[in-house]
Amino acid sequence: MPPKTNSDAPCRSDDRVPEWYLYLVRCRGGCLYTGIATDVERRLAEHRAGKGAKYLRGRGRLKLVYKQRVGDRGAALKMERQVKKWPKDKKERLVASGAGIEEMIQRGHP
């Protein structure tokens, strides 16, 4: 009998690929921080506790202003890289419009 392979194993709920989200957080002074996470609320709590991104430490009250599911980790990293390159006014338009991130990426820079 051949050895059992992963494809023969039953699918368990913990085998699922987690969904990743792109999020934007507004800091004191109005700056916007872009990040990715599988659990945005948990990640925001970590930021507020001073854990994680050094950029957010000491930046005052943090408010989640945008969140969108973007797929797997690779897609999330790619989108995060793109959005971090955007000028602040384009990020502000994304937040204000509530538009899908893909639509804003397709438009390119203003």
Give me the domains of the chain, ranges plus CATH numbers: 18-107 (3.40.1440.10)
Average pLDDT over residues 59-86: 94
Encoded tokens for 5: 């392979």
Question: Distance between CA 9 and CA 58 in Å, rounded?
Answer: 48
**What's the mean per-residue pLDDT of the chain?**
84
Average pLDDT over residues 81-86: 95
Kindly report, residue by residue over 28-69, the tens digit of the pLDDT.
889 999 999 999 999 999 999 998 888 888 888 999 999 999
Positive or negative torsion for Cα 48, 82, 22, 78: negative
Reply yes or no on whether the pLDDT at 90 is more than 60.
yes
Question: Distance between CA 64 and CA 48 in Å, rounded?
Answer: 11
Q: Report percent pLDDT > 70 for the chain.
A: 80
pTM: predicted TM-score of the whole model, two decimal places: 0.78
Q: Classify 5 as helix, strand or coil.
A: coil
